[in-house]
Structure 1
Amino acid sequence: MSNDLTWLLLRNNNSFLVKRVPEGPVFSKEPGNLRNLHSAKYSGLVNNKTIDVSQLPNGAIQVKSRKAKTTPHTIAKAHHTTTIRPRSGGRRALGITSSFARRGYRPDLRTAALSRVSALQRAQREPKAPHARKTRGNKSKAAAAAAAATA
């Protein structure tokens, strides 16, 4: 079945639709949808070539692409999988996502895949401790005077 016919059948009713606001955008939770937007371009169910970015339990990020000649319901051999180790830098993510574009495998999804990988890496980072704030102006003069008076 062609991608266009599949989209016509699935666009109004599938189990992954998220309709929160009647006038707002319609989102989708399907695997392989990088932007989570309900559109034919980003749909993981409709397109033969999809890129799926997910986080593994050990903290690694998995970038999975479907081989073009397979159906969405085939076995694991129908996917090409690349893993980005935890705490890897952004250059590694850029290299992996741009490798898909260099091979001609959905170059239009490169920025979406890179933003998804970057967001997952950003979520893994431990937040920095806030710096101690210095008192400035009249408050610091008053604090210095109080410290001198007690000493």
Structure 2
Amino acid sequence: MASPDLLWQLVKKNNKFLVKRNGNSNASVQFSKEPNNLYNLNTFKFSGLANKKTVLISPAGEGLDVVLGTSKTKKGNKPANSINKSVMRRDFRKMAKAVTNQT
């Protein structure tokens, strides 16, 4: 497995998930649609491709159910098995506390 810095240097300008938009004046804005990128920003800090530890929060079906996914650092070579997903069916405050404790 390559270092996260090397991976970021390889994928920061060209990858499948990169979205480039025109911002104010002449500056362009870059977003990213990659999995495990909570803020959808194209930066090393929030990258789901380059970082070893990532977090995924998504809705799970009906109601207020939430899927919390965290990446396993030892399974980096096997992308299908690298995310540990758990479904939370609690009230919002308990889920927020559980997410904070897990991350």
TM-score w.r.t. the length of structure 1 is 0.58
Q: Which residue of 2 aligns with 1:97?
A: 99
Residue identity in the other structure for 1:65: T
| Match among 41, 44, 47 for residue 45 of structure 2 | 41
Ranked by relative contact order (alpha carbons within 8 Å, sequence separation 6 or more), the top structure is: 2
**Conserved 8 A contact 2:39-2:46:** yes
Deviations 1:104-125 (A, max 9, x none): xxxxxxxxxxxxxxxxxxxxxx
SS of the residue 1:42 aligns to: coil
Paired residues in the alignment total: 98
Q: Which runs of 5+ in 1 are unaligned?
A: 102-151
Q: 2: distance between equivalents of 1:2 and 1:56?
A: 33
Alignment of 1:124-135 (within 5 A): none
Q: 2: distance between equivalents of 1:73 and 1:32?
A: 16
Q: Which residue of 1 aligns with 2:68?
A: 63
Percent identity, aligned pairs only, is 35
**Conserved 8 A contact 1:84-1:92:** no
Q: Which runs of 5+ in 2 are unaligned?
A: none
Residue identity in the other structure for 2:4: N
Give, in angstroms, the shift of residue 89 of structure 1: 2.8
SS of the residue 2:56 aligns to: strand
Residue identity in the other structure for 1:15: K
The structure carrying a bigger helix percent of its residues is 1
Deviations 1:11-50 (A, max 9, x none): 0000101111151431100000000000001000111100
Q: 1: distance between equivalents of 2:101 and 2:77?
A: 22
**2:67 aligned with 1:74:** no
Runs of 4+ in 1 over 6 A off after TM superposition: none
**2:34 aligned with 1:30:** yes
Give, in angstroms, the shift of residue 10 of structure 1: 0.2
Q: 2: distance between equivalents of 1:40 and 1:72?
A: 20
